[in-house]
A and B are shown apart, each in its own frame.
Chain A
């Protein structure tokens, strides 16, 4: 049996652990740079704040509805996540950390255990030890565990936050309850197409003939169908695979109008990507640069464009990547636009020790030692100490974080303050 453990409104819950007065109050968390809403408490959802709502447009709504707004505090969320995952690991050796707030657990050989009781125990322990509320869905396959989790969460009052899907009857009922677009692993495009075919629920999908799925979709969806039928086909992925692409994209704090300014940002993003790349010991063979104007200023010229640059050889050098990123920018840069966002995405990632050398470029590894030295210096003296010449030396890369909470668990100087002076 598989269990999917999912933290309820994880970011909002993390903030509430250290600010319990926000319990039962609406809370939203903004993306990097305080751009848009990326997480909401149930109360904020009930007030109709949509996911991705631009913060500046909703400023008055936040004030009127007394919604507490937070900048994203990833040091805090990361630490709380690792605490939750560590506790879950004590229940089974087979665990797949699926995202910052979700994990699949495989309960193999637990036939004589009361899995519902196990689920309740996990939930209780995580809640008590970390303060984070979780929902648990338990079912014979991963795709069904995902659905069981939704049921556990949706009907928390009845299920106590834990739902065990055991019988055939429960499975069919759950599949009929799940809309096609909500099936785990069915993308938006496929969902639309399936709905046009009259496939309205997961139950309809599980009844499609194998040949049809194979013809119109792929083997992945076929596996998904089997999984939904209760035949385990999607395995637990216990290894954390190296990332397939690495990206740094940011909205600028204010619009930029000159090539030089945008180039500076692009170079900085490329360097940041290169650092992430070296951290996972990979090299890349292509990169994508994109720029975008401010979509909220409808009167101004709207422009967005991107460009893929294929590199002559696989590399992890900040210098080479910044150079080609700037080259890509030259291709797409247009005068007279107020640029509000840009990004660099590295693609074609492969382990650095397996990289394919180019016969005609003799000096492709020439930055290796330099990069190692820079990485070591950053490790010792803090990040962003050494920059390339086309990066702005004065610009400390600071995100806008006007609503940041303290790093309660990772900074000794920011732990909760207790005030025993409280009078009676």
Chain B
């Protein structure tokens, strides 16, 4: 046993967007054709689950802990769908006063609050003085376990 075996090595799935199409290798005519050839299907891609709307889907990386309660941790990857309406209670990527942030929306008759999900942070009340852009709605979080 040498030293390097002390660390466990985990292999991550490749983080690329190519869809792998299995090769139906039917070029060899000598043997019995593979009985599986007729049942070849596209390999699963995580896109099928998280990308509902390719043209409107963008990604962002979280820094900080203010949305910890909603399961958004430092370093997580967010999947953002810009086609979705930013309804009350949605978690959205917002651009406020020159910075990107992610918060839960609380839409009231007169104003909008950006709610953190961490007791150390208080809600941000959006007034006319703030410049708020609701950039897109967060639909999935990709995190490392």
Are A128 and B82 also in contact (CB < 8 A) when A420-B101, A424-B124 are? yes
Question: Which parts of B53-98 form the interface with A (CB within 8 Å)?
Answer: 53-56, 58-67, 72, 77-78, 82-83, 93, 95-96, 98
Residues on the B chain within 8 Å of A83, using CB: 54-56
Tell yes or no: A211 within 8 A of B by CB.
Answer: no
| Interface size classification for chain A | 20 to 34
Asked if A422 and B99 sit within 8 Å, CB to CB, the answer is yes
Asked if B56 and A421 sit within 8 Å, CB to CB, the answer is no
Question: Which parts of A368-424 form the interface with B (CB within 8 Å)?
Answer: 408-409, 412, 415-424
Residues on the A chain within 8 Å of B107, using CB: none
Residues on the B chain within 8 Å of A50, using CB: none
Residues on the A chain within 8 Å of B121, using CB: 423-424
Q: Please give the number of chain B residues whose Cβ is less than 8 angstroms from any Cβ of chain A in the complex.
A: 36
**8 Å CB contact of B62 from A86, A418, A422, A423:** A418
Q: How far is the CA of A129 from the CA of B103 in the complex (A)?
A: 20
B62 and chain A: residue at smallest CB distance: A418
A90 and chain B: residue at smallest CB distance: B55
Least Cβ distance of A182 to chain B in Å? 32
Question: Which parts of A86-112 form the interface with B (CB within 8 Å)?
Answer: 86-87
B60 and chain A: residue at smallest CB distance: A416
Asked if A418 and B63 sit within 8 Å, CB to CB, the answer is yes
Least Cβ distance of A341 to chain B in Å? 36
Q: How far is the CA of A139 from the CA of B53 in the complex (A)?
A: 31
Asked if B60 and A417 sit within 8 Å, CB to CB, the answer is yes
Question: Which 5 interchain pairs have the tightest Cβ spacing?
Answer: A420-B66, A129-B56, A421-B64, A415-B59, A83-B55
Residues on the A chain within 8 Å of B100, using CB: 416-419
Least Cβ distance of B34 to chain A in Å? 26
B135 and chain A: residue at smallest CB distance: A20
Least Cβ distance of B137 to chain A in Å? 11
Tell yes or no: A130 within 8 A of B by CB.
Answer: yes
Residues on the B chain within 8 Å of A419, using CB: 63-64, 99-101
Residues of chain A touching chain B, judged by Cβ–Cβ distance below 8 Å, are 20-21, 83, 86-87, 128-131, 408-409, 412, 415-424
Asked if B64 and A129 sit within 8 Å, CB to CB, the answer is no
Given contacts A416-B100, A424-B121, 9 further A-B contacts (CB under 8 A): A20-B133, A129-B82, A412-B77, A416-B59, A417-B60, A418-B78, A420-B66, A420-B116, A422-B124
Q: How far is the CA of A422 from the CA of B55 in the complex (A)?
A: 29
Asked if A131 and B61 sit within 8 Å, CB to CB, the answer is no
Least Cβ distance of A18 to chain B in Å? 9
Q: How far is the CA of A83 from the CA of B82 in the complex (A)?
A: 12
Are A420 and B72 also in contact (CB < 8 A) when A21-B98, A129-B83 are? yes
Residues on the B chain within 8 Å of A417, using CB: 60-61, 63, 100
Residues on the B chain within 8 Å of A420, using CB: 62-67, 72, 101-103, 116
9 contacts between A and B (CB under 8 A): A129-B55, A412-B59, A415-B58, A418-B62, A418-B78, A418-B100, A418-B102, A420-B103, A424-B123
Q: How far is the CA of A423 from the CA of B66 in the complex (A)?
A: 10
B97 and chain A: residue at smallest CB distance: A422
**8 Å CB contact of A424 from B62, B78, B82, B122:** B122
Asked if B95 and A20 sit within 8 Å, CB to CB, the answer is yes
Asked if A415 and B82 sit within 8 Å, CB to CB, the answer is no
Asked if B15 and A418 sit within 8 Å, CB to CB, the answer is no
A20 and chain B: residue at smallest CB distance: B95
